[in-house]
Structure 1
Amino acid sequence: MELLFIERISTEQLEDLHRISVHTFRSNYGHLNTPENLQQHINQHLSKERLKTELEHPEMRFFFAWVDGKVVGYSKLNTGQGQTEDYGEDQLEIERIYVLEEYQGNGYGGALIQHAEQQAKTLGKSNIWLGVWEKNPRAIAFYEHIGFRKIGTHTFQVGQDPQTDWVMRLSL
């Protein structure tokens, strides 16, 4: 793996965050959803306005992963009231973790998970949780391999399509 640098994203980097958010969501899920549902999700959850609000939220943190001066992926970590579901104050949620297709398989996703673990420990959290689509066996296998275990399910709405995510937790 080449030298990876992870930095917190600021509001000045909103354009780059918006671009990578839309690109990675489309590339990962575009072929599995109708264009209408995909666009509705992007408009509701990945708009510049929404991302700016989330960047300014004290319990939501975004991080870019950089390699050789290029952004290769990003993560979004939530605590407290920033979590998409209330799993308690001792939890850190990984709401998003995406690596651009051309950089997948190089260990960058694992590095972002390790970074999330460090953030959780720094913040005094005892668990990390995330939701992963039940129809994404590659991601499920990745999370299981590093120690996440299924603790339940929740609905992840993509436009008009309610999809089932596995809720997985890693104890620190």
Structure 2
Amino acid sequence: MDFQVLPINVDYAGALANLAKRLFLEAYGLDVKSLPASAEEYLNSEFSIDAQTKELSDTRMFTYMAFEKRGGGDTATTTPIAYCQLRDHKHEHNDVIDDPDAIELKRLYVDQHYHGFGVGKRLILQSVAKAKELDKKTIWLAVWDNNANAIGFYERQGFRKVGKRQLKMGEHTVINYIMIKHIANIIPSSNSDSALHCKL
């Protein structure tokens, strides 16, 4: 499989909104047809085109999308298959995160049909490169405590659990693990905003 990771801007707001909502439902094992009204309202707000436009316009957020490449020449096509978002803001988890300047890996989702091809790892590498460029020493994230596959993936990438937090989706509540990765001694393999290619 041939895929490419690129930084994206507001031109991709619609594509990101569609991909983000679909992969969120997939990751949490939810069916949009059976969602409680409050949870559906949360999703429609969190992953609307307007919300993604706002996030893509935010100079403290950095979004990367992975595209599968098929064919060549005039018949070549690209399909969005994954994305990640870094958010540089002051976190509220000082009781469990020992670095007040840590940057958040707010989202990282990969279409389940592309698990096992190195897409998620490539997005982690991209995130580390960008964080290093911003002189960050720690990346933190929140992951659903019932998503064993995601937790295992992050642990293999060097993250460790440091605490738990609740996430409210309307009237629905889930528990997330807080995980961190120290990156001070990691040397990034490429410029953070250049295209990353991988053939598998």
Provide the TM-score with structure 2 as the length reference: 0.77
- Tell me the residue number matched to 2:129: 118
Displacement after TM superposition at 1:154 (Å): 1.4
Structure number with higher helix proportion = 1
Residue type of the partner of 2:140?
Answer: W
Please list every run of 5 or more consecutive structure 1 residues that lacks an aligned counterpart in the other structure: none
For 2:12 and 2:136, how far apart are their aligned partners in 1? 27
What is the root-mean-square deviation in Å for CA atoms of aligned residues? 2.1
Change (3 A) 1:90 1:4: farther
- Tell me the residue number matched to 1:71: 80
Conserved? CA contact 2:39–2:172, under 8 Å:
no
For 2:93 and 2:47, how far apart are their aligned partners in 1? 18
Displacement after TM superposition at 1:32 (Å): 7.7
Displacement after TM superposition at 1:4 (Å): 3.0
Q: Which runs of 4+ in 1 moved over 4 A?
A: 83-89
Provide the TM-score with structure 1 as the length reference: 0.89
- Tell me the residue number matched to 1:40: 41
Pick aligned residue for 1:169 from 177, 180, 185: 180
Q: Which structure: larger Rg?
A: 2
Conserved? CA contact 1:5–1:67, under 8 Å:
yes
Deviation larger for 84-93 or 15-24? 84-93
- Tell me the residue number matched to 1:62: 63
Pick aligned residue for 2:89 from 73, 80, 84: 80
For 1:66 and 1:127, how far apart are their aligned partners in 2? 27
- Tell me the residue number matched to 1:150: 161
In the alignment, does 2:125 pair up with 1:102? no
Conserved? CA contact 2:25–2:31, under 8 Å:
no
Please list every run of 5 or more consecutive structure 2 residues that lacks an aligned counterpart in the other structure: 70-77, 184-200
Change (3 A) 1:84 1:48: farther
Conserved? CA contact 1:89–1:125, under 8 Å:
no
For 1:92 and 1:39, how far apart are their aligned partners in 2? 28
- Tell me the residue number matched to 2:28: 29
Aligned-partner SS, 1:90: coil
For 1:3 and 1:114, how far apart are their aligned partners in 2? 17
Conserved? CA contact 1:24–1:100, under 8 Å:
yes
Q: Deviations over 1:143-162 (max 9, x none)?
A: 11221111111111122122
Aligned-partner SS, 2:30: helix
Deviation larger for 91-100 or 31-40? 31-40
- Tell me the residue number matched to 2:9: 10
Change (3 A) 1:85 1:4: farther
Higher relative contact order (CA 8 A, sep 6+): 2
